[in-house]
Structure formats: C-alpha cells, structure tokens
Structure 1
Amino acid sequence: MLEMACSLEKWNKVKETAEILYECVQCLYQEQQYRKAKSLPLLTFELEHPMVYYYGFSHLMRGMACQEKGQYEESRAYIDKYAELGWLEDLGEDGLEVVEEFRSLAQANGHALELLSGHVELLAAYTDFLRENPEEVLPGLDTILRAALRHGLNVDELLETFSDQTAEFGTYEDEGNLAHYYSFSHHLALYQKRARRTEEALEQVLQAVRLAHRSGNDSYFTRSLALFESLRDWATAEQVREVQRMIKER
C-alpha cells in the first residue's frame, strides 16, 4: 500500500498508511515486552524483516511524505527518529544491521532535507558526501536538481563532475533506481529548459517519457508529456513520432 501510494505521489495517503504500520509494530513490540517481563509465553509470528525495520520504515515514509509536502520541520523530526533505533531491546545481529542501515539513510536524507529547505551553503558538503557514498549519487543528484530549480542555483559544474556516474544510470533495472532515474531525468529536463538549452532538455524529457512508459506509471507519463509539449516547437520530427508512438501504445 505504501509503495502504491508513493508511486501515485499521494503523500497524505503515504503518511496515513505509515502511521498504521507504526501502530501495528508498536503494538506487537509492547505485547512482547509485556510478556517477557511477566515471564509469559512470547507471541510466535513470522516477519519478512526484523521488527526494528518496520519502526524505521514507518518513520522513513512519514518523513518522505512531509518533505514532499514542504513540511520540513516535521520531516526532520522523523529523520531523527530513524537515525537512532538502537533503543529497541532484543535486536540481535540482524536487527543491529538494520539499525545501521537506517542510521546511514538518516544521514543522507538529513543532508538532502537541509539543501531542499534552502541551506544552499551546504551544497559543497553534500557533494563531498555523494563522492564518499556512490550508492547515493542518483537520488542525491536528483535532490540537487530540485534544490537548483527551487533556489535558482547553477549546478552545471557539479553535474559535469558526476558525468561518469550519470552515464551509468541507464543500466539500472531495479524498480527503486528506475523511479529515481525518472525523477532525475524529469528534473534535469526542467533545469536544462530553464537554462534555455532546448536540445538537452528534449533529450532528457524524452528519457523521462520512456521511463514512465516502461514503468506504466500514468502520473509520470502525463507529467513528462506536458513538459515535452512545452518544448515541442524545438523537437525533431523523429522525436515527435517517438512520443506519438508511446501514446498510442498506452
């Protein structure tokens, strides 16, 4: 349900569903701790992940929803919650690994949030963070583009710095990275359009349309199609035909 709400960008639904997830795992955890304290038989159930994962994931999703709605202070509060999940008891080795994973996510998302909220003086520090954490380059560059569009930044040199990594984005096949790649392509098209580089903007918006078409995401497809139409006067006949073909195939 959370993944579906995210793909549709229904952020109120994301937050509401994540709160239900938190209440469920909190209920389970408290019941187990009560039984343990009273020397009662523990509940037996199977979870796909350690219980701490669901605490972290519920906070992560609520923080993301708040960020997308521009509620930065509330988003920051959720980041603080999944930054330190070591307070849970009986974590075990698997649970401790999850704690570290969410701590790393909190660091990355905290940097991104500060940049989006207007602390553009942190751009150099965030760039250094991406160099040290190559797995964050794709979502990180998307965040930088969003901040550039929102706060009027010129990030041409920065994009050139990561050109080798961006050339590899097209090789990604997992759903999460493809969603990030769509967002990156769409925002890069907007950035190039703002800079009046229409050829580059068209190249990127076509990539965004292809990714939206490939994923079957109607919301993404409609959004990128609207951007393509705003650049249609500069498009080649071949580019127009390609978009028309994708429209007919839907």
Structure 2
Amino acid sequence: MEPATTIRSTIEDYIRKQGYTLQYFADISGVNAGTLSAIIKGTRPIAMAQLDLITQGMNLEEGYFYETYGAECFVESAPHWRRLEPFLQRCAELDKLDCIQRVIQQVTDDRSYISELFEMAEGMLERGQQKAARMLYECVAECEKYQHSERLALCQYRIFTLSLGQNQHDNLRAAVHFEPYINRLDEERQLDAIKDLANTYASLRYWDKLFSLADELGHKAEIIQSFTKKKVNKESRVTAYPLFVYQAYSNLLKANACECRGEYTEALKYTEKYNNLVNIPNPNDEDMIYINMFNRWTEVNTYLYNLMMGKKEVLPIYVAWIEQNEKETLTALVKIIEAANKYDMNIDDVLFKFDKSINSILSDRTLSEGYNEQLKNDLYSKLLFELAMYYFNREQYSEGMQKLVNCLSSAIRINNSNDIIQCVALFERYRYFASQEIESIYHNLMEEVYSYYEIKKNHGYTLV
C-alpha cells in the first residue's frame, strides 16, 4: 500500500496551489517537462538528481523528501542498487543518518548488496563520512556474523577504530570486542590492527596487555619482513607504514610498558633495540621520515628514563630538548613533574619556564576522537594529577586543590574510574585545606559520578 501522501502527489499539489503550469515548474526546477509529467503520473521513477532539483524548485530544504523517498523506493518496493547507491551517498553528505539506518535494515534481506555496501562504506570512510560508514560496516558485519571471512574482520576493524572516543569504558569494550577478529585479517593489515589495539590499551594503562600486543606486533612484522625481499612502495602496499617501522614501534611500545611499570633499565634496553632497528640500508625519503622520528624518540626517552631513575643531572638537558621540540611538551612535563614528586625535586623554575605552554594545554579542550586523542586525554589528566601532588608536597594547597578538582572533572568526562578513585583519595587526604568554593565544586562533581553509576546500575550496564 502506498503512503497517504506520496512525493508525486505532493509535487502535484504544490504546482496546483502555486498556480503554475507544468512547463513553468519544469523551467524553475530544471527538470524536463516530459520527465516531470511522467514522474507525477507514476510511470517513471524519480532519480536522486531529479528529486534534488524538484526539492530546490519547491524552495524546500535539501533532503526534505529523503525519508519518504526511502520508504517508497526501498522499503515498499524491491530496491535497485542503481538507485540505492546515490540515495545512501546523498544521505551521508547531508548527515541524514536515520534515513540510512531505516533503508539498510530493509535492503540487507537481499544479501546480493553486501559487497556493494562494504565498498561504499570504504568510500565514505575515505571521504570522512565516518558515522554513515560505521552504519554500513555494522550492517555488513551483522549480515556476515556467522562467516569466517576477511571482510567481516575488516568491518570489525573499521568499527573498532570508529568507536574510539573519550569514554574509556566504551574504548575498552570496543577493544575486547574487536581482538578476536585480528587473525582473520590479511597478514599485513594485522600489523596496523595490532598497533591500533596496542595504542588503545596504552591509553587505558593496561601495561601487561600492551607489552603482550607489542611482542605480537614485533613477531608478525619480523615474519612478514623475512618473506618480503624487496621494498614495496607506498602506493601499492597494504600497511600504513614501511615494514621496518612496525618492528621498531613494537620495541618502543615495550619500552613504554616497562617505563610505566617502573622498569627503567628494561625500558632503556628496548630503546636501544628500536634505535638499532631503524638503521636500515638505502633508506628512501619516506623511510627517512620514520628514521628521524625514532632517532628523536631514542634521544628524548634516554633522557626521560635516566631522569625517572633519579639522575637529576639530565633535567637541564631534557628541558633544553623540550624547548626545541614543542610537540612533546605535554608528555615531557607529565614525566618531569612525576619525577619531581618521586624524588622531591624543586622544579618551580621549569614550571615557570613552561607556564604559557601549561596554560595552553589546560585550556585546550577541543579534543577529537581516536586513539591519539585517547592518549592526549590520558596525559591531560595525569598532568593535572601530578601538578596537584607537586603543589600539595610544597604546601601550596590552593593551587593543588584547583588542579585536583580539574583532574577529577577530566576523569569523569572520559569515564576513567582509576583516576576518579585517585582524585577522591587525594582530596580526602587534603580536604582540610579545601575552600568553600572548592568543596562546592567537589560536591557537584561527586553528584555527577553518583548519577552516572546510578544510571548504569538501573540499566544493567557492564564494563565490557
């Protein structure tokens, strides 16, 4: 049965009420009069391009008819890919995600469109239409959930990367869900998948899991590299980076895991390993980008691990390096303040030197999604917590309390339970020094935490 109001009846009513002739409306809309007549009579289907022209001619907003068009063309009648493809693409361009969801739920009964939907999702991802792409990947994954296929695994990989955001519990859930699909991917694509998964666990501070994935990454990269006799150029390879990068990055991740577990001697050992791995013969221009990157990391991390072992004499060299490498300021400051708290160092001069940088970092809350931003969010919270500790240790309680409630707010925003617990414990230790204003802010933040966990309890949510 047709809906009570069809697109063609709406067009016909509009022309009549405006007092237009068919030819006049054809002229203002840009649709041929004969074509327009056939559309109104129902003897010719409406193409997407014609629908957009008609909508514009009627002075309606773009996509005004899309919901009705989806129902008429793809739900109530057998869909044809020749018409479905431009419809989904236009919906993605106009961010009409409800229309996409409604239509793909219907058309996937016909499994013949699964390959086309997957390829379309890939195209949307390349064009930055991430939400629409994710819908199509989820649709394809659902249709192929009982298949042991590489396409299913690739869909799950795409869904995983598109799921990463600021909520750490959601990120953990996405990581746990995706991990079983890694081995179904093409061997080379597995390298990027493991790398992305390892970065996610790094932001979650799962150091043992990070080390395990880093070890797997290095092992797989070594095997693939042993079978690859010649360099593959950037345009034709499957991996995002040259193969030697994955072996080197594996050791960098291991060094990071060791550092965070307080194993600084081991961290230095893995730093030396990745420094040696990037010394490849006959590097090209792209190779040199990564070689220089790892060389910088070798230098700075050597300073860092020595500082974390209590070698205070490296601090001026480390600070000088940061001044020449501003992009590393956030990471470096976190570590310097952490070392200061651990070894009771006075770093007031360092904080003064980087005062503008610190204020800039703490005021930058326009963070996007993805694992790099996960790491940035994590570092942001750690910076605030370490600053709070530093000020408390130096009896600057007002400054410490302000940083602490800011840290708590950040931890709540990204749903980091460990940081929330640490902040609460530290606040209770120094509560006596909290002003009435800070007490009020703290109370409101704790109400927010309470409300969130009440919602979780009432809806039966679990962590993963």
CA distance in 1 between counterparts of 2:323 and 2:375 reads 21
Picking from 83, 89, 109, the partner of 2:275 is 83
Note if contact 1:63-1:74 (Cα within 8 Å) is conserved in structure 2: yes
Note if contact 2:200-2:374 (Cα within 8 Å) is conserved in structure 1: no
Q: Displacement of 1:89 after TM fit?
A: 5.3
Which aligned pairs between 1:25-104 and structure 2 lie closer than 5 A? 25-33=221-229, 46-88=238-280, 91-104=283-296
Residues 44-72 of structure 1: CA distance to partner in whole angstroms, max 9, x if unpaired? 86112222221222111100111122222
Q: Displacement of 1:91 after TM fit?
A: 4.9
Q: Displacement of 1:29 after TM fit?
A: 0.2
Picking from 343, 348, 352, the partner of 1:160 is 352
Residues 93-142 of structure 1: CA distance to partner in whole angstroms, max 9, x if unpaired? 32221111111112111111111111101111111111111112211111
CA distance in 1 between counterparts of 2:298 and 2:281 reads 21
Please tell me whether residue 23 in structure 1 is matched to residue 216 in structure 2. no
Larger Rg: 2
Could you tell me the percent identity over the aligned residues?
Answer: 22
Q: Displacement of 1:166 after TM fit?
A: 0.5
Q: Which residue is equivalent to 1:205? A: 404
Please tell me whether residue 246 in structure 1 is matched to residue 445 in structure 2. no
Picking from 160, 185, 205, the partner of 1:9 is 205
Q: Which residue is equivalent to 1:183? A: 382
Helix, strand or coil for the counterpart of 2:421?
helix
Task: Please identify, of 86-95 and 143-152, the stretch whose mean Cα deviation from structure 2 is larger.
Answer: 86-95
Note if contact 2:264-2:309 (Cα within 8 Å) is conserved in structure 1: yes
Q: Displacement of 1:32 after TM fit?
A: 1.1
Note if contact 1:142-1:183 (Cα within 8 Å) is conserved in structure 2: yes
Q: Displacement of 1:192 after TM fit?
A: 0.9
Q: Displacement of 1:200 after TM fit?
A: 0.9
- Structure 1 unaligned segments of length 5 or more: list them: 37-43
The verdict on how the C-alpha distance between 1:193 and 1:104 changes in structure 2, with shifts beyond 3 A counting, is same
Q: Which residue is equivalent to 2:166? A: none
TM-score between both structures, scaled by the size of structure 1: 0.88
Q: Displacement of 1:90 after TM fit?
A: 7.0
Helix, strand or coil for the counterpart of 2:205?
coil
Which aligned pairs between 1:128-143 and structure 2 lie closer than 5 A? 128-143=320-335
Helix, strand or coil for the counterpart of 1:145?
helix
Helix, strand or coil for the counterpart of 2:296?
helix
Q: Which amino acid aligns with 2:198?
A: L
Residues 144-193 of structure 1: CA distance to partner in whole angstroms, max 9, x if unpaired? 11111111111112211110110100215233322221111111111111
The verdict on how the C-alpha distance between 1:241 and 1:132 changes in structure 2, with shifts beyond 3 A counting, is same
CA distance in 1 between counterparts of 2:282 and 2:411 reads 43
The size of the alignment, in residue pairs, is 241
Task: Please identify, of 212-221 and 150-159, the stretch whose mean Cα deviation from structure 2 is larger.
Answer: 212-221
TM-score between both structures, scaled by the size of structure 2: 0.49
Picking from 150, 171, 174, the partner of 2:364 is 171
Q: Which residue is equivalent to 1:116? A: 308
Note if contact 1:15-1:65 (Cα within 8 Å) is conserved in structure 2: yes
Q: Which amino acid aligns with 2:207?
A: W
Helix, strand or coil for the counterpart of 1:167?
helix
CA distance in 2 between counterparts of 1:102 and 1:249 reads 45
Q: Which residue is equivalent to 1:39? A: none
- Structure 2 unaligned segments of length 5 or more: list them: 1-196, 231-235, 368-372, 453-464
CA distance in 2 between counterparts of 1:68 and 1:99 reads 24
CA distance in 2 between counterparts of 1:57 and 1:246 reads 39
Note if contact 1:2-1:17 (Cα within 8 Å) is conserved in structure 2: yes
Note if contact 1:232-1:240 (Cα within 8 Å) is conserved in structure 2: no
Indicate the RMSD between aligned Cα atoms, in angstroms. Answer: 1.9
Q: Which residue is equivalent to 2:337? A: 145
Picking from 389, 414, 426, the partner of 1:227 is 426
